[in-house]
Chain A
Amino acid sequence: MNSKENTEKSYTEQMRPDVKMQSIGLNAWFGQKQALKDINLTVKANAVTAIIGPSGCGKSTFIRTLNRMHELVPTAKMSGQVLLDGKDIYADEVDPVQIRRRVGMVFQKPNPFPTMSIYDNVAAGLKLTGAKKGKNLDEVVKRSLEQATLWEEVKDDLKKPGTSISGGQQQRLCIARAIALQPEVILMDEPCSALDPIATAKIEELIVNLKNDYTVVIVTHSMQQAARVSDFTAFMYLGQLVEFGETSGVFENPKNELTEKYITGKFG
Chain B
Amino acid sequence: MNRKFTGDNVFKILAAVIAASAVVILIVTAYTLVSGSVPVLQRFGLGFFAGTQWNPVEGREIFGALPYVLGTLVTSGIALLIGVPLSIGIAVFLVEMAPKALRVPIAYLVELLAAVPSVIYGLWGLFVFRFWIQNYIEIPVSNSLGWLPIFSGTPFGLDVLTAGIILAIMIIPTVASISKEVIGAVPNSIREGAYSIGATKWEVIRHWVLSYGRSGIFGAVILGLGRAVGETMAVTMVIGNTIGPAAIPTSLFKPSQTMSSLIANGFLESTASLEKSAYIGVGLFLLLLSLIINIAAHVMVTRVLKVKGGAVE
Contact = CB atoms under 8 A, between A and B. Distances in A.
A61 interface: no
Contacts of B192: 69, 72, 107, 111
Nearest to B196: A105
B198 A163 contact: no
Interface in A99-137: 100-101, 104-105, 107, 109, 111-115, 124-125, 128-129
A207 to B, nearest CB: 17
Contacts of B211: 115
B193 A97 contact: no
Nearest to B191: A72
A23 interface: no
Contacts of B100: 74
B189 A107 contact: yes
A113 B193 contact: yes
Given A74-B100, A113-B208, A97 B200 contact: yes
A115 B203 CA distance: 15
Interface stretch (B47-55, B265-273, B305-313): B305-313
Contact of B197 (A74, A100, A115): A100
10 contacts: A69-B192, A72-B191, A100-B196, A100-B198, A114-B190, A115-B208, A125-B198, A161-B310, A178-B196, A181-B197
Interface string B192-219: 1111111110010001100110100000
Contacts of B214: 115
A171 B199 CA distance: 20
Given A97-B198, A163-B311, 18 more contacts: A72-B195, A107-B192, A111-B187, A111-B190, A111-B192, A113-B194, A113-B208, A113-B212, A114-B310, A115-B211, A115-B214, A115-B307, A125-B197, A125-B198, A174-B193, A177-B193, A178-B196, A181-B198
B298 to A, nearest CB: 21
Interface on chain B toward A: helix, strand, loop, or mixed SS?
A: helix
A3 interface: no
Given A72-B195, A74-B100, A104-B196, A111 B189 contact: yes
Q: Which of A67, A72, A112 has the most CB of B within 10 A?
A: A72
Interface string B150-194: 000000000000000000000000000000000000010111111
A109 B192 CA distance: 11
Interface in B65-121: 100
A224 interface: no
A100 B203 CA distance: 14
A98 interface: yes
Contacts of A124: 194, 197, 207
Interface of B: 100, 187, 189-200, 203, 207-208, 211-212, 214, 307, 310-311, 313
Task: Give the contact-size bracket for chain A.
Answer: 20 to 34
Nearest to A127: B207
A128 B192 CA distance: 15
Contact of A177 (B187, B197, B307): B197
Contacts of A98: 198
Contacts of A74: 100
A128 B196 contact: no
B193 A111 contact: yes
Nearest to A170: B313
Contact of A114 (B195, B197, B199, B212): B212
A98 B187 CA distance: 24
Contacts of B197: 100-101, 104, 124-125, 128, 177-178, 180-181
A260 B248 CA distance: 84
B190 A113 contact: yes
A74 B199 CA distance: 18
Interface in A157-177: 161, 163, 174, 177
A128 B199 contact: yes
Contacts of B198: 97-98, 100-101, 125, 128-129, 181
A169 B285 CA distance: 52
A107 B189 CA distance: 8
Contacts of A109: 189
